[in-house]
Amino acid sequence: MIKKRFNPITDKSSEIIAFLMASPDIPDDPDLRFKIELSVEEAVENVVHYAYEGGIGWLEAGTSLDHESLVLTIELRDAGVPFNPLEKADPDVNLSADQREVGGLGIYLCKNMMDSIEYHYEDGNNVLIMRKIVKN
């Protein structure tokens, strides 16, 4: 896995996203890149803005590619407030923006853009794993 720890993460969303998207594991296909980047942006922004009080903390971000199954894995790990984003109910996208509750749309987009998303809490860390099949 290609990974890097960012500490502190305050004002580093763009740097973290750029690191992940520059990985040689990320495919060149524009449609796949769009889906992956949107999901990465949403997940990273959630950690940077909500995981730590005052935004001071670390985020370890990494990618790996299984060359046999062509499954890209993106992993985000932080020691912020325990939070499972997958427990939040999906927003009702049939309602207008004025009628919907605030929040939750980013995770909903991630769920729809990636092939799988997992969350677990281990050793005092939030771990979010997103996977995308990248074969043509």
In contact, 42 and 110? CB cutoff 8 Å: yes
Please give the model's pTM, rounded to 2 decimal places: 0.88
Q: Are 84 and 5 in contact (CB under 8 A)?
A: no
Domain that holds residue 66: 2-133
| Structure confidence by residue, pLDDT tens digits, 92-113 | 555 555 554 555 567 888 899 9
How many domains does the chain fold into?
1
Structure tokens, 57: 């903390």
CATH code of the domain containing 41: 3.30.565.10
Per-residue pLDDT tens digits for 7-49: 999 889 999 999 999 999 999 999 999 999 999 999 999 999 8
Q: How confident is the model at residue 136 (pLDDT cuts 50, 70, 90)?
A: low
